[in-house]
């Protein structure tokens, strides 16, 4: 049973986002970004309440901006997905999760050392240039079940 319900268009959309956000960090980096996307769909808490589809996660607007910078600024996001990224996206949607993004809802590239918290949420780790953050205990328990 997959982690979330999805259609082939969701696989394509997610593959495009994973590539746009982390192509320079290889397949592992793209899988971590995919973890965050699926986690946001599963979470239904904090900033991610009432998101029911991959499309809603990818195109979510917070504070007047898209949650994922690649939607707004990324030429790569608007290119066709490739078979290799679609395979990775499907892995995330079906089963794949791993530390440091296993329960992460946020990531960013600070172009400096990762701060220990980001908007009050604890750092779970770093992969190459991206820092990953999961919700504080007790604030979003659903992400740990999904």
Chunked in runs of 10, what are the mean pLDDT values of the chain (146 residues)?
95 97 96 98 95 98 94 91 98 97 96 95 97 95 86
- Domains of the chain (ranges, CATH numbers): 8-144 (1.10.10.2520)
Query: Is the C-alpha dihedral spanning 10, 11, 14, 15 positive or negative?
Result: negative
Q: Tell me how long the chain is.
A: 146
**pLDDT of the residue at 73:** 87
DSSP H/E element including 130: strand 130-133
109 Cβ neighbours under 8 A, 6+ residues apart = 129, 130, 131
**pLDDT of the residue at 97:** 96
**pLDDT of the residue at 7:** 97
**pLDDT of the residue at 135:** 96
């Amino acid at each position: 049973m997959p982690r979330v319900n999805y259609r082939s268009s969701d696989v394509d959309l997610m593959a495009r986002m994973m590539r746009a956000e982390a192509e320079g960090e290889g397949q592992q980096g793209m899988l971590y970004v995919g973890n965050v996307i699926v986690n946001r769909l599963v979470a239904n808490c904090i900033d991610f309440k009432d998101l029911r589809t991959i499309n809603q996660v990818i195109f979510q607007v917070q504070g007047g901006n898209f949650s994922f910078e690649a939607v707004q600024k990324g030429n790569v996001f608007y290119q066709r997905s490739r078979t290799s990224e679609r395979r990775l996206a499907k892995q995330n949607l079906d089963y794949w999760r791993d530390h440091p993004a296993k329960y992460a809802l946020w990531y960013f590239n600070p172009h400096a050392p990762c701060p220990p918290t980001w908007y009050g949420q604890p750092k779970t780790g770093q992969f190459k240039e991206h820092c990953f953050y999961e919700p504080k205990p007790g604030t979003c328990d659903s992400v740990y079940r999904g």
